[in-house]
Amino acid sequence: MTRMTVAELLSSDKFLQEVTLKGWVRTFRANRFIALNDGSTLNNIQCVVDFENTDESVLKRITTSAAVSVKGTLTESQGKGQTVEIQVSEIEILGDSNPEEYPIQPKKHSFEFLRENAHLRIRTNTFSAVMRLRSALSFAVHKYFTENGFYNFHAPIITGSDAEGAGEMFNVTTLDVENLPKTDDGAIDRSKDFFGKTTNLTVSGQLEAETYAMALGKVYTFGPTFRAENSNTTRHLSEFWMIEPEVAFNNLDDNMDLAEDFIKSVVSYVLQNCKDDLAFLDNRLTQEDKSKPVIERNEMSLLEKLNFVVDNNFKRVSYTEAIDILRNSKPNKKKKFQYLINEWGADLQSEHERYLVEKHFKCPVILFDYPANIKAFYMRLNEDGKTVRAMDVLFPGIGEIVGGSQREERLDVLQQKMAELGIEEKELWWYLDTRKFGTAVHSGFGLGFERLVQFTTGMGNIRDVIPYPRTPQNAEF
């Protein structure tokens, strides 16, 4: 008899079939009804124990979170809320669980408490739904790019270049920090380090991806990235996963089209393939909203929001237009923004991004053509000499979900920009080579995977959409 999953059994109509299944007890009631879950689906299957013919000693060990193996027949259920159930003929306790010590009780726990028990929170409905969705989204990402002629490119995680400028980096070293080797002038002697030079964990695979796009045409990375910024927000992690497509011959408009099509495609994928988990999360968010003051409630339910994103065009707005809107906005005039927008050139904070998306346009927004001096060195300078072909995709509830640009393909302009910013050419000689040997217009962007998972699951805190979050002062597990 082969072992079947709960998901398979719940959608089966082969009644009176003898089956074996294994899983963890969610609840056991009336010495008779086990709600069994094996992770294959959000839903539990009811297993009805013949308690008169089962040893008292076995019944006692059927406790919440115990691992069990069940043999029985699949029957149509008499009970409400389920179509099938298992009439148990044999039950074996595979692993006991002491209900007094098990931290996850059948009651509502705070997300803070569950974060401290991140190894067990996955056994709750909310986290199992979130993590199944995360897995489905990851598959949808690879599916989208594969079906659109992209090659997956594995960018290095340890990097010898620290010139991307996307954020503070984590140093990678095997030097004895208690006893650092010094050069004659007292500096740390990095030539004695493992790689013979300073190395860091990558903040982005972009620069390396650009070199690959210049030969394979369309590539994408999907890997972990690391930023040592001291940002304690609901949208920042120190270790997060980023998806970075890079496409030869694409200009900024093509890049915006790609970002929009890509996001819509992965969101539609989960709408079609993760219905149970999404329905559960939709309901969770609706319940959570009810406990909030009316003005803080979401205007749309989770499912409405996801369908809205799939069905509507993202609004494309230049930075210059956005500044005009913000300058004349109520919160700016009434000095409600923490950072007031006074002039062109101001960097946008998340309060401004969220105003544009949530209050003004009420839809996803792509801002483009930012001032050169608030963006990275590699972005294509526009003819006006003061803006660059940058784009940020802004989402309701999240703010920036994508950052990207058309890249500066002109060697002399790039060299001049690097000189202005003090980036040494010898640091990035290999990057400059792409501009010497067959340079071409090209573009790409980075999507923060956890921000996408946050949006799709409706979870308020980014720490609740990655299995083991790393944030300042926190790397437990």
Interface ranges with ligand 4AD (CB under 6 A): 166, 204, 206, 227, 236-237, 240, 242, 244, 400-405, 444-446, 448, 450-451
Burial class (CB in 10 A: 0-12, 13-18, 19+), 76: exposed
Q: Name the binder of 9 from Mg ion, ligand 4AD, none, CB < 5-8 A by kind.
A: none
Q: Name the binder of 23 from Mg ion, ligand 4AD, none, CB < 5-8 A by kind.
A: none
Nearer to Mg ion, 282 or 450 (CB): 450
Q: Name the binder of 236 from Mg ion, ligand 4AD, none, CB < 5-8 A by kind.
A: ligand 4AD
Nearer to ligand 4AD, 28 or 220 (CB): 220
Nearer to ligand 4AD, 33 or 377 (CB): 377
Nearer to ligand 4AD, 91 or 247 (CB): 247
Q: Name the binder of 193 from Mg ion, ligand 4AD, none, CB < 5-8 A by kind.
A: none
Q: Name the binder of 244 from ligand 4AD, Mg ion, none, CB < 5-8 A by kind.
A: ligand 4AD
**Alpha carbon distances (Å) from 66 to 69, 107, 149, 171:** 10, 18, 46, 43
Residue 457: CB minimum distance to ligand 4AD, A: 15
Neighbours of 43 (CB within 10 A): 16
User: Rounded to 5 degrees, what angle do the CA atoms 145, 146, 148 make?
Assistant: 65
Nearer to Mg ion, 245 or 403 (CB): 403
Q: Name the binder of 4 from ligand 4AD, Mg ion, none, CB < 5-8 A by kind.
A: none
Residue 473: CB minimum distance to Mg ion, A: 24
Listed as own residue / partner, the contacts of 161-164 with beta carbons closer than 8 Å and 24 or more positions apart are: 161/207, 161/427, 161/428, 161/431, 162/198, 162/200, 162/427, 163/207, 163/377, 163/423, 163/424, 163/427, 163/428, 164/203, 164/204, 164/206, 164/207, 164/376
Q: Name the binder of 145 from Mg ion, ligand 4AD, none, CB < 5-8 A by kind.
A: none
Nearer to ligand 4AD, 277 or 353 (CB): 353
Burial call 392-427: b when 16+ CB within 10 Å, e when fewer: bbbbbbbbbbbbbbbbbbeeeebeebbeeeebeeee
Is 348 within 8 Å of 303 (Cβ atoms)? no
Q: Name the binder of 166 from Mg ion, ligand 4AD, none, CB < 5-8 A by kind.
A: ligand 4AD
Instruction: Kindly state the tokens that stand for 426.
Output: 């010898």
Residue 164: CB minimum distance to ligand 4AD, A: 6
How far apart CA 25 and CA 35 sit, in angstroms, is 6
Nearer to ligand 4AD, 24 or 319 (CB): 319
Residue 222: CB minimum distance to ligand 4AD, A: 12
Q: Please give the residue ranges that form the binding site for Mg ion (CB under 5 A).
A: 403
Nearer to ligand 4AD, 131 or 207 (CB): 207
Residue 370: CB minimum distance to Mg ion, A: 10
How far apart CA 475 and CA 477 sit, in angstroms, is 7
Nearer to ligand 4AD, 124 or 461 (CB): 461
Is 208 within 8 Å of 155 (Cβ atoms)? yes
Nearer to ligand 4AD, 72 or 396 (CB): 396
Residue 203: CB minimum distance to ligand 4AD, A: 6
Report helix, strand or coil for 143. Answer: helix
Burial call 131-145: b when 16+ CB within 10 Å, e when fewer: bbbbebbbebbeebb
Residue 83: CB minimum distance to ligand 4AD, A: 41
Residue 225: CB minimum distance to ligand 4AD, A: 7
Question: Going by C-beta distance under 8 Å and a sequence separation of 6 or more, which residues neighbour residue 29?
Answer: none
Q: Name the binder of 326 from Mg ion, ligand 4AD, none, CB < 5-8 A by kind.
A: none
Is 329 within 8 Å of 360 (Cβ atoms)? yes
Residue 344: CB minimum distance to ligand 4AD, A: 21
Nearer to Mg ion, 235 or 435 (CB): 235
How far apart CA 196 and CA 186 sit, in angstroms, is 17
Q: Name the binder of 85 from ligand 4AD, Mg ion, none, CB < 5-8 A by kind.
A: none
Q: Residue 359 has what DSSP assignment? A: I
Residue 201: CB minimum distance to ligand 4AD, A: 13
Q: Name the binder of 282 from Mg ion, ligand 4AD, none, CB < 5-8 A by kind.
A: none
Is 400 within 8 Å of 394 (Cβ atoms)? yes
Is 260 within 8 Å of 447 (Cβ atoms)? no
How far apart CA 408 and CA 405 sit, in angstroms, is 9
Instruction: Kindly state the tokens that stand for 334.
Output: 């009434």
Residue 276: CB minimum distance to Mg ion, A: 34
Report helix, strand or coil for 232. Answer: coil
